Amino acid sequence: MVPDEAQIIKRAQSGESAAFGELYEAYFVRIFRYLAFKVGRREDAEDLAQAVFIKALESIGTYQSREVPFSSWLFRIAHNQMVDLFRRRNRRPEISLNEEIPLADDCADPHEELEIKLQNEALLAEVKKLSAAQREVIALRFAAEMPIAEVARAMNRSEGAIKALQHSAVASLRRRLGGQV
Amino acid sequence: MTLKKMDDIFNDCLELIRQGYSLDECLTRFHEQRAELSKLLAIALEVKKVVACPVDNEFKEELKIKLLANMAQHRNVVRLRWWSGLKTRSAIAVISVVMVISAGGGSVAYAASVAMPDSPLYQIKLSEEQLLTRLAPSPEARVSLVAAFTDRRVNEIVYLAKRGDAIGISRISEYLDMHLELLASGISFTTTNTTTTNTQTSPETAGVTLPPSSVNGTNIGESNNELQQILSQHQANLNSQLNGAIVNASPGVKTALEQAMAAANAAYVQAEQSVR
């Protein structure tokens, strides 16, 4: 949550471009990383991030804070854009929040040292083996840096259930990776 | 220790780390679970690092400029509706033209409206602006539109500055100056003609018959105040954006930006004098 977010949203809704710019700055990186983690390709993640913010700009006038937190609203747009992308490509006609989707392979820093890169690949390979719900928690908590309460809302589960999924996902990775990390 | 409690402790630790606490501080706080927590947190921090896909800052900035330019355009269209007041017939004419443009290629029209100077669609954007300026339902509406287009030119200059294109900046700066001259002449027209129907044309709008400047029901003094406010806002926006762009600019770009700023500020002074 951005400080004074409600005020910034109101200003953006009244057409103040600087206010929308503040929201963009607050959320762009988180949205982009979430999408990169989910779709697996930098170019796709950039195209989708662009579509997300265009959609947000078009629809911000209809956003109502009492219904859902702004971040959940924005990540819902991101999810819908991703579903549309997969539909257009006929790769996956239907995707729910908990369905299996590929993980990011294409956003590693090219200057990374080989050893680190291999370690990252091993970790990502293990993340892919987690359950769909555990992966979604990893996407929202670690890539999108969303608070527990908002993840719970986005996944329609209790906060306790999200904390349990987060713990079990990381514990599972620890068991599988042993001393590699 | 129940499993549920460990879920909470692990999450609390992640939150503390997110707030800037060190791993050691966190482990000290939950010293009873230190052994288990340290292994979990090591993995969690590694996952966090791996999923932090690096952002292309150039892409991020370009997208922001396009979005904000688009928003500024929308905002000024709203302002135009308010300003044009009861001139319904003229307003319908403008809306019709916009609809024809949209129907003839909606996505092209949209893409052109956000096109930057290095885009093949940029000339369409300029032509569309000229058309809209000519068809503005009142001098006040024309002033409002041209003011919106000055914002577009400023955004384009910032965009070109990020790309290090000093020649492009000089070119767009000339367009900006033309807009500001048009703004000054438009304002001069609206503030000196208050009572009779006028067929006078400015050089930039030759061939277009301008309606009387007094907006239905609008006091001219209020109108001048409104114009002054708008000019001040646009000038402040120009200085803020171009000063921001100067910070990381190369020497060539810096010179081009400074020249653009000096010329634009001089033109704003002239426009403000026209209001008084």
ipTM confidence: 0.81
Distance from CA of A66 to the nearest CA of B (A): 24
For residue B239, which amino acid is it? N
The residue count of chain B comes to: 276
Whether chain A has a CB inside 8 Å of the CB on B43: the answer is yes
Distance from CA of A170 to the nearest CA of B (A): 6
> Cα(A54)–Cα(A74) distance, rounded to whole angstroms?
11
> Cα(A12)–Cα(A21) distance, rounded to whole angstroms?
9
Whether chain B has a CB inside 8 Å of the CB on A137: the answer is no
Least CB–CB distance from A50: residue in B8, B63, B78: B63
- For residue A12 the two structure tokens come to 């953006």
CB atoms B43 and A127 under 8 Å: no
With a cut of 50, list the residues of chain A below it in pLDDT: 92-104
Nearest CA in chain A to B3: A164
Nearest CA in chain A to B37: A171
By three-state DSSP, how is residue A54 classified? helix
Residues 46-105 of A with CB under 8 A from B: 46, 49-50, 53-54, 57, 104
Q: Which residues contact B72 (CB under 8 A, 6 or more apart)?
A: A17, B148, B151, B152, B155
Q: Which residues contact A34 (CB under 8 A, 6 or more apart)?
A: A75, A78, A139, A140, A143, A144
Residue whose structure tokens are 């949550």: A1
Q: Is B167 exposed, middle or buried (0-12, 13-18, 19+ CB in 10 A)?
A: exposed
What's B194's DSSP letter?
-
> Cα(B79)–Cα(B97) distance, rounded to whole angstroms?
19
Which residue, B226, B240, B239, B247, is CA-closest to B268?
A: B239
Q: How many CB pairs under 8 A join A and B?
A: 109
Q: What is the pLDDT along chain B (276 residues), one digit of tens a residue?
A: 455 588 999 999 999 988 888 888 888 988 888 888 999 999 999 888 888 888 898 889 888 888 888 777 665 544 444 444 334 444 444 544 554 454 445 555 566 677 888 887 787 788 778 777 777 777 777 777 787 888 888 888 888 888 888 878 888 888 888 788 777 776 655 555 443 333 333 333 333 233 333 334 445 566 667 777 777 877 888 888 888 888 888 888 888 888 888 888 887 887 777 666
Q: Is B70 exposed, middle or buried (0-12, 13-18, 19+ CB in 10 A)?
A: buried
With beta carbons less than 8 A apart as the criterion, state whether A40 and A61 touch. no
Distance from CA of B20 to the nearest CA of A (A): 14
With beta carbons less than 8 A apart as the criterion, state whether B152 and B73 touch. yes
Whether chain A has a CB inside 8 Å of the CB on B8: the answer is yes
Task: Determine which of B50, B113, B155 to mutate to test the interface with A (most A C-beta atoms within 10 Å).
Answer: B50
> Cα(B73)–Cα(B158) distance, rounded to whole angstroms?
16
Distance from CA of A114 to the nearest CA of B (A): 14
Whether chain B has a CB inside 8 Å of the CB on A127: the answer is yes
